[in-house]
Each structure stands twice: as C-alpha cells, then as structure tokens.
C-alpha cells in the first residue's frame, strides 16, 4: 500500500476531460515525479489530491484513508502539505514570521496531549533543511524568486507533513539552482523519510532525483517507470521528451510495457540536527 495513492482519478471541467482514470502513488521515503507537456493535467492532479478540485471519478487514499470527506485544510492536518506553482507567502512578513505563523497554525490543530516540538525549534529546523537560515530576518519580498520558492517549501515543512506535494519548485531556476534544489529534496527524503510527489518541467532534475516517474499527456497516464525506463520509452519520447528537445521523432502507437517493480520505501536516515522537530507530524483532523 502506498503512503499516498490516486486511483482512477477523473476530473472534468464542463465538457473538457482534464484527467481520465489516472492512477499513481508515492511511498514514504520516495520521490515520485509527474511529467508531461503543458496542459497534460499535472497541476489538476495535484489539485485533485489536495482537495482543491473535486473528483468526478476515482478516489484518493492517504495511509489507506479515503480523503473524499476531507477538505484541503483537513488533509493538511492529516500530514499532506502542498506548494503551488506561484509562491504563496505572506508578503508583509519576514521569512521567520512566515514560518512561525505556519508552525503555530499547525500546533493549534493538534489534539491535546499529543507530543510536539516547540514551534521555534521547528522553524529553525525547517529553515536549515532549505538553507534559508541566514535569511530569517529578511522580508520575503526582498528575496529572489528562487529563494522564495525554498522558503515556500520550508513553510510546508513547518506543518510536519508525512507527504509533500510540490508543483514546479524549480520554475525559473537555472541549472545550478535546479541542481541545488535537487540536493535539498534528496536530503529531505533521506533524513525525514517523507514521501514527495513532484510536478516538474525540468526533466533533467526529475531524471536525476526521482525514484519513479509518471508521464501524463492529454489527461491520461501514458507511461510509468524508473528514470532509466522513462528515458528510453518510445511513447514518452514521441509525446514529450523528443518534443522538449526539439527532436523529430516518429509517432509510436504502442502501449507502454509494464513497469519494473517499484523500489521499496526508504526508512528515515540517520539523525541530522533537529530533524525530529519537523519529521512526520500530522494527526487526526478536527
């Protein structure tokens, strides 16, 4: 059983079928990526999982629990944290204040008697994981876009999630920034043991860090597999990779072969600083 799983998800906007029976999942300690051309349905899938978009078909399960009855804020309290394509921070506040506000909101939603960590320690740990600890006293609007995206992920960590949904965190980043982001996400996976479901247009970043990849095109899942399998899949090359590279590739009318077995989930790695302050919190929704 996956930590987070979408089963046969279908979404329609009027007469437009945005998602057509999409199934995907991510385990704890795993990075699963969703790639595809513009308009393929990637963000719609994250919206459906996080509860921002209603399903017409299928279901979303988190730790075996059907999320249908739960609004987005209740899903966050269960341990599902989400970032958006556009940076979503409080512009009039400093980095520290953004993190503190999120940590305190998360704290207020916990049931009495539940073990927890001081919010200040959680803020320090989250800032350290995303390498923004030197910018805690700066206004978020004074930071470059790439640094704001790191703060956005740190805010999500302040919720103490068990699974992160990241929507194009490398948007606008250059090669060196993208590579640095990849290293940070790998550290989050290894040290905290979180599941990460990543939507990203930076194909090289995805191939470098993902354990498993899903490929969407026109709202349908056209392939899935490890990075090595996806890199050489003729259907993916014809639909996406070749298109991105500007290569002329013949259309391939074939059904993707079944993917190899998924790698098993990774347990949390060795202790690193104050990682317990932000490792997998969540809890029953109120």
Query: Which whole number is the average pLDDT over 89-117?
Result: 78
- Using 50, 70 and 90 to split pLDDT, how confident is the model at 274? very low
Position 190 scores a pLDDT of 94
Under 8 Å between Cβ of 37 and 243: yes
Under 8 Å between Cβ of 89 and 152: yes
Report the distance separating Cα 137 and Cα 239, nearest Å.
Answer: 45
Position 258 scores a pLDDT of 40
Domain annotation for the chain: domains and CATH numbers: 4-79+161-274 (3.40.50.300), 91-160 (no CATH)
Position 267 scores a pLDDT of 53
Percent of the chain with pLDDT over 90: 70
Q: In this predicted model, what pLDDT tens digit does every residue of 61-89 receive, in sequence order?
A: 999 999 999 999 999 999 999 999 878 89
Position 252 scores a pLDDT of 29
pTM of the full predicted structure?
0.84
Q: What is the DSSP string of the chain?
A: --SEEEEEEEEEETTEEEEEEEEEEE-TT-EEEEE-STTSSHHHHHHHHHTSS--SEEEEEETTEE-TT--HHHHHHHTEEE--SS----TTSBHHHHHHHHHHHHHHTSPTT-----HHHHHHHHHHHTT-GGGTTSBGGGS-HHHHHHHHHHHHHTT--SEEEEE-TTTT--HHHHHHHHHHHHHIIIII--EEEEE-S-HHHHHHH-SEEEEEETTEEEEEE-HHHHHT-HHHIIIIIHHHHT--------PPPPPPPPPPPPPP-S--TTGGGTSS------
Query: Which whole number is the average pLDDT over 121-148?
Result: 94
Residue with the larger pLDDT of the pair 174 and 247: 174
């Amino acid at each position: 059983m996956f930590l987070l799983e979408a089963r046969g998800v279908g979404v329609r906007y009027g007469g437009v079928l945005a998602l057509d029976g999409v199934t995907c999942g991510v385990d704890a300690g795993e990075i699963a990526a969703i790639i595809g051309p513009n308009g393929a349905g990637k963000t719609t899938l994250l919206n459906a999982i996080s509860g921002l978009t209603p399903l017409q078909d299928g279901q979303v399960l988190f730790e075996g629990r059907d999320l249908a009855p739960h609004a987005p804020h209740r899903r966050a309290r269960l341990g599902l944290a989400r970032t958006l394509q556009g940076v979503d921070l409080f512009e009039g506040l400093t980095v520290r204040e953004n993190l503190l506000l999120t940590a305190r909101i998360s704290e207020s939603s916990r049931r009495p008697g539940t073990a927890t960590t001081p919010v200040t320690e959680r803020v320090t740990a989250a800032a350290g994981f995303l390498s923004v600890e030197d910018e805690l006293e700066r206004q978020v609007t004074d930071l470059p876009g790439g640094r704001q995206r790191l703060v956005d992920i740190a805010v999500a960590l302040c919720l103490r999630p068990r699974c992160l949904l990241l929507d194009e965190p490398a948007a606008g980043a250059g090669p060196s920034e993208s590579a640095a982001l990849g290293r940070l996400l790998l550290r989050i996976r290894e040290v905290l043991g979180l599941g990460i479901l990543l939507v990203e247009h930076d194909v090289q970043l995805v191939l470098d860090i993902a354990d498993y990849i899903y490929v969407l095109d026109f709202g349908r899942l056209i392939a899935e597999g490890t990075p090595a399998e996806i890199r050489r899949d003729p259907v993916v090359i014809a639909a996406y990779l070749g298109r991105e590279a500007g290569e002329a590739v013949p259309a391939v009318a074939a059904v993707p072969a079944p993917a190899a077995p998924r790698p098993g989930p990774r347990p949390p790695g060795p202790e690193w600083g104050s990682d317990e302050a932000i490792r997998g919190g969540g809890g029953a929704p109120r």
